[in-house]
Structure 1
Amino acid sequence: MVGTTRIDRILEDSFVHEEVFALRPDYRAMLVVIEGIAPAAGDAESEALLVRAEEHARRVAAAGPIEDEPHIASWREAYRAFGAKPQRTRNSLEALTRRAADALPRVNRLTDVYNAVSVLHGLPLGGEDLDRYVGAPRLVRATGSEPFDTVAGGDPVVEHPDPGEVVWCDGEGVTCRRWNWRQGRRTRLTDGTRRALFILDALAPTSDAELEAAADALVEHLGAGATVARRLLAGTDSALG
């Protein structure tokens, strides 16, 4: 069982490599750990959030090309900075907003809430099962040798990121490729997840206050009766790795 001490240590040991901040000095990551989640199907509260997110996405789509929305355009620039092609591998905010303009999936309360918060607050948001995590999260530029446990053609496979790609890792390998494009199989959230690590990614024009508000919304809807801890990683929290 993951105790409060370990939660604190995980947050204390988390870092963003200085090479990532060199790409985007405006980058910040809010890490939120929620321990004691009660697995549940979607309910009236999560459904209302999803409906609000879908309505918001339709307003974004009606205002012009989704890729020109400032928060999404900023992530497209970040992807180009490390060699990714954003029209082929869309950042999670863009992919989810495009999907939400039609309809978001209904999975379970946990997934539905964090998908809705991502769209409503205009930032990429990933969730990891803390019981499957090894050590602390770190955001680095890949060497290309790190393992990434995923699925291709319906079968489990181990892939490797491109050298220089921005990836989230733990002590066992890549947990999310291309900053926030695709999460790995090993640490993904499931119907039985009770301890989760959420990573909220922010670039300008998202302010620190807006990033905090997104984290507050996540905790409001998922943190009742749970142990919650969070940490903001900004330019002063870089490491050589």
Structure 2
Amino acid sequence: MSKFIIEEGFWELFPQAEIAVILVKGIDNTEESAEPVRSDILQLLENANKNANQFILKEPISENEVIAVWREAFKKFKTKKSARCSIEALLKRIQKGKEVGCINPLVDLYNSVSLNYGLPCGGEDINTFAGDLRLTIAEGGESFLALGDEQYDDALAGEVVYKDDEGAVCRCWNWRDGQRTMLTEDTTDAFLIIESVDPARSGDLAAAARDLAELSCRFLGGSSRIEHLNIDHKEISL
């Protein structure tokens, strides 16, 4: 059985980080199956787009606390120029009056949780992983084809990445996901992740994880398991 491992190089940079993993298995993520509840999922996403305004109270957007903590975090490792945390990308859309739209049922659910809590959320298809998944410091050159891209843009040495034996899974910690492991309508087993670098938000992280686990099973079936990782608990089985 494969594992998710957060390696020592990461903890040297972020000893106070906390990461919630939600493993959902046996789900049906097809639009056909979700059709009876699609309007409910879209309503959740619509409400979350509105709720997200609570996190955008200052100008410039980088002055808002849920973004400022990630701006500081991204200064601690090598990043692609202009790379930003995923929650900043979502909140910038809200600030510009562009709602975060529909992608597929499971992605819509984790985006709604991300917007409701002001925390970065992501997801990957477990069955696409090559060996163990690791959150670590890139050696440089890990193969990566981002969502929406046609050319590979490999990881930089010193970059925080999620990677497996085949290459990078998500670059610059939570900036961009790759095509190889993305959630699709064919996904039946998913690795969902919520991240925090602010110890004061432990309660929010736990609540967000519970919400995402519950919503995933309610709308897509299957089962869920929540794991909380920190410097004292660095790996789990998948």
Q: Distance in 2 between matches of 1:49 and 1:136?
A: 33
TM-score normalized with structure 2 length: 0.86
Q: Distance in 2 between matches of 1:229 and 1:73?
A: 30
Q: 2:102 aligns with which of 102, 106, 125?
A: 106
1:31-46 to structure 2, matched below 5 A, reads 31-39=21-29, 40=34, 43-46=38-41
Unaligned runs of 5+ in 2: none
Match for residue 91 of structure 2?
Answer: 97
Q: 1:204 aligns with which of 198, 203, 219?
A: 198
The answer to whether 1:83 aligns with 2:78 is: yes
Identity score, percent: 34
For residues 60-106 of structure 1, the C-alpha deviation after alignment (integer angstroms, 9 at most, x for no partner) is 334443222212111111111113378x1111010011113421111
Counterpart of 2:211 in 1: which secondary structure? Answer: helix
TM-score normalized with structure 1 length: 0.85
The answer to whether 1:73 aligns with 2:68 is: yes
Counterpart of 1:159 in 2: which secondary structure? Answer: coil
Contact 1:53 1:100 in 2 (8 A): no
The amino acid across from 1:19 in the alignment is: G
Q: Distance in 1 between matches of 2:147 and 2:39?
A: 32
The amino acid across from 2:18 in the alignment is: R
Match for residue 161 of structure 2?
Answer: 167
- Cα offset for 1:147? 1.2
Match for residue 11 of structure 2?
Answer: 21
Unaligned runs of 5+ in 1: 1-8
Match for residue 126 of structure 1?
Answer: 122
Q: How many residues align?
A: 226
Inter-CA distance 113–206: structure 2 relative to 1 (3 Å threshold) = farther
Inter-CA distance 228–238: structure 2 relative to 1 (3 Å threshold) = closer
The amino acid across from 1:132 in the alignment is: T
The answer to whether 1:150 aligns with 2:171 is: no
Q: Distance in 2 between matches of 1:104 and 1:61?
A: 15
Aligned-residue Cα RMSD (Å) equals 2.1
Contact 1:150 1:184 in 2 (8 A): yes
The answer to whether 1:180 aligns with 2:174 is: yes
Counterpart of 2:22 in 1: which secondary structure? Answer: strand
Q: 2:229 aligns with which of 209, 212, 233?
A: 233
Inter-CA distance 185–113: structure 2 relative to 1 (3 Å threshold) = same
Q: Distance in 2 between matches of 1:182 and 1:69?
A: 22
Contact 2:52 2:118 in 1 (8 A): no
Contact 1:71 1:206 in 2 (8 A): no
